[in-house]
Structures are given as structure tokens and as C-alpha cells.
Amino acid sequence: MNDSVTLGTRPLTPREVVDVARLGMRVDVDVDALQRVADTRALIEGLADDPQPHYGISTGFGALATTFIAEDRRAQLQASLIRSHAAGTGAEVEREVVRALMLLRLQTLCTGRTGVRPVVVETYAALLNAGITPVVREYGSLGCSGDLAPLSHVALAVMGEGEVRDASGTLRPAADALAAAGIEPVALREKEGLALINGTDGMLGMLLLALHDLEMLFTTADVAAAISIESQLGTDAVFAADLMALRPQLGQAESAAHLRAFLAGSPIVASHRGPECTRVQDAYSLRCAPQVHGAARDTMAHATVVAERELESAVDNPVVTVDGRVESNGNFHGAPVAYVLDFLAIAVADVASMSERRTDRALDVARSNGLPPFLADEVGVDSGLMIAQYAAAGIVSELKRLAAPASVDSIPSSAMQEDHVSMGWAGARKLRRAIDGLARVLAIEVVTGCRALDLRAPLTPAAATGAVRDLVRTRVAGPGPDRFVSPEIEAVTELVASGEIARAALAVAFPG
């Protein structure tokens, strides 16, 4: 990872957004970008002096767009816009989300298409580099005219107002935190208030963070499925490359390749391979894992294309065109991002649902091919992992509810001027919760599958699944009498969420 990322020379990459948002990477602004910003600002200054009204420069906003504002009231107009729009409520939004939306708004400012002064650009960069995180609240954005309330809370902090978390996480008045960091608050001028809040930056930031996490979680789902297939005496023959080629879906092929590699050389699989095996076909949750996990991967690929296009965008209203016109537009509407956020929530729910079904099969003596009921040590006395499956089932039920789309639930606002909205912010918030749920459901499957692998002794697992089992055993003991289960699920959830489970399998199956 580089020490910093430079803005203004090219669109940000998804990885750079994650590094700045989650890992605290510094940002620099290209000097040519600052000059481009200054040149565009000169156009805005000229329009500000024009006696004819220009939206966002010498008029009110939204339903008040036809109201002319005299020059001596325009600074107050900008400040009033931010203060009134910083109307979020509810719990604080996570630091990484706020940093992502700050970075993405800064990227758009650096395009020179918004008309702000260079000092605004420099101040946004300074807040990010000082680790100052404005307090943004959970509710307030409808995902149209941008993520207005979340972005307004950030702009309010740039003005030296409102609340922030400093680099240590301490809650402080923005004015105090900026002063301590040597950052001068910005007094906004014409057009700048609108430029700071008309963007899809919040929902896009959460989409990019989600895509980063899902890439690892969908691989972890392949790992968990391999452990379940192996420990339940399933077959790997159905994942053959020539069978996958008969249906050339890209995600399916990738997941099947993972399953083949994770199960390669498994003594457990070999123990029931051949004419003496009476198994005809495994249940769908085992046999069709590549089809479901692959469809989720393809959904993720589509969402990535949308996210990368959005990273190339300069979203504002009005916007300063390349040839110097200032034009109203509707690019702030969050529909493209909102749709894929909802699409991903569906995929997450379905991958988790299949995982829970594999866990349930391992615990059912009628379907587990010789494993003890609930993988209990002393049947009748011990309950084994019975209630762990309950936890997975409860999460999956919630994920199904979270899969209901937010983007079809438009609700009008601003005296019917904004009469159709995307609800993309809401879609992003529920996707974050769904991703957390998926990690927990997969962790429960891994806990269950690793215990089942141990119960197949003296047969041993494949090298890749065995490496995962060994990793899990550094946090969770093997089969035995009933014990406190919750800490074990939490410990393995940490291994899943950090990517350690996926990396342990990949390192063995795909060395180098």
C-alpha cells in the first residue's frame, strides 16, 4: 500500500477508497487539479456579478429555486443551506463510512466541475489527514439531490460548526477540533453549499466498502461449502470443469474452481468414491453451491461496474461543464447505485440461506451420513451445536427481510419538487447489516463443519480444508462435552470478517 493517494489526476480506484476510509491513508491534491478548481471558480465569480439570476449562485434552492438572493445575503444563504440540511438523526454512522463520503466528495471537487474555491478542496483534505470525522447520523438521506443530510453534516464541520470525532475518537465541537489541528474553518461563498452536498458519495462509499468485504466473504462461502461437502461425505465430481463449461457463467466457474481446489486430495472424499458408493446425488445446498455462490459473484461484478463508473463521475447540480456552461441536471439521483445495493442484499441473503441449510444438514442424524445428532459428545446429555443453527436461522430470516428493496420505496419531498427519490442511502445501510449477518452465518457453518471433520477421524481432510480446521482450532476447541458456545461463534466470526479463513484455504489451494 502506498503512503498516500493523490486526487485530481484520475478517478480513484475502489481499493484507494477502502484504504483511505478504513485504514486512514493520507490524501494529497494534485497542483494541476487545484489550478483547474481555481479556473472554474472564476466562472462562478463572473456569474455571481450578473444581475440575471443563476440557480445555486444567486437564487434559493429546491422549491425556492426561483427566489433571487441579493449579493449581501448570499454568504448567509450558503451557511443557512448547510445548517438546515444537517438534519440527520439517530445513531452515529461508522467512521469508515464518513471518511469514504468525505473522500468521494473531495474527489468530485477536484474535477473542477463544481465551482468551489481551492480553499474548500484543501480544507476537506486537511480534515481527512488530521483524522477528524464529522458526526453523521443514521437517518436523513433520501438518496436524491444527493446524500443531502450526511454531506451537510460534513460541510457543517468544515464551517467549524457541529460535532466531530478527533483522531483519538473523542467527541468534540468542530471548532475546537479544527483549531487543535491548525485548520481554519471555511466561510462558504456562492455555489459552494450546493457543491458540498449534491452527491451520491455516502451510498457509493458504502457500496465500495461492501464490495471489498463481499469479495472475501463469497470466497469464504466457498471454503465453508467445501468443509460441509467433505464432512457430510458429499461428492466433488459435480464440480468438474467440463460440467461447469456446459453453463458458462463466470461466477459459477470461479466458485467451482475453488471447490475443486479446496477438496483436492481429500482422504475423506476418496473414502467413499467409487462403485461401492450408494450416493446418487447430493442435496442442492451441497451440489448447487457453485451455481448460487457464482450468481452472487456475478451480481458483485455488475455492482463493481456501476461503482467504477460512479467513481469517474462529477456529480453536482448545477454543474460547470467542460466548455464553461453552468447547467442544471439530474445526475445526483442515486438510482444506479441504489439498484445494485438492493441487488447485492438479495445475493447476500441467498448465500447465507444456503449456508444455513448446510449447517442444518450436518446436525441432522437422518441426513449427515453417520455423524452424531447435533454433533453432540454424549447424545441425550449434550445438545452439541443445536442452538448454533438456531442463531444462523434467525440471522437468515432477518437477511430475507433486509433483501426487500429500498429503491422502489420512493417518497416525495421538498413540496413535490423532489417527487421521486432513490432511497440509496437506506439500501446501503441495510446492506451493511446484511454483510455482518452473512459473516456470522458463515462462521457458524465453519464451526459446525470443522467439528464434523474432526468426528470423521481417523480419516483426514484435504490440505486446504485441514488448514482452515487447524486455524479454527487456535480459537475454538474440538469436539467434546457441551460448553459456552457464543464466544466460539464470535471468535470464528472474527476470523471470517478479517479474511483469515479465506486466506488460509487460498494459501494452500493456490500457492504463490
Q: Are strands 89-92 and 137-139 parallel, antiparallel or unpaired?
A: antiparallel
Q: Are strands 4-7 and 26-29 parallel, antiparallel or unpaired?
A: parallel
Question: Which residue shows C-alpha cell 497542483?
Answer: 31
Closest CA relative to residue 445, chosen from 243, 297, 231: 231
Which cell numbers in the block locate residue 106?
A: 473531495
What 3-state class would DSSP assign to 78?
helix
**CA atoms of 107 and 27, how far apart (whole Å):** 10
**CA atoms of 191 and 116, how far apart (whole Å):** 7
**CA atoms of 482 and 192, how far apart (whole Å):** 62
**CA atoms of 157 and 131, how far apart (whole Å):** 13
Known catalytic residues are 55
Q: Write the single-letter amino acid at 312.
A: E
CB environment 41-54: b (16+ within 10 A), e (fewer):
bebbeebbeeeeeb
Per-residue CA distances from 270 to 234, 302, 342, 460 (Å): 10, 38, 41, 10
CA dihedral 400, 401, 403, 408 (to 10 degrees): 150
Question: Which residue shows C-alpha cell 458540498?
Answer: 196
Which cell numbers in the block locate residue 425?
A: 442511502
Which 8-state DSSP code applies to residue 71?
G
> How many Å separate Cα 146 from the centre of its chain?
18
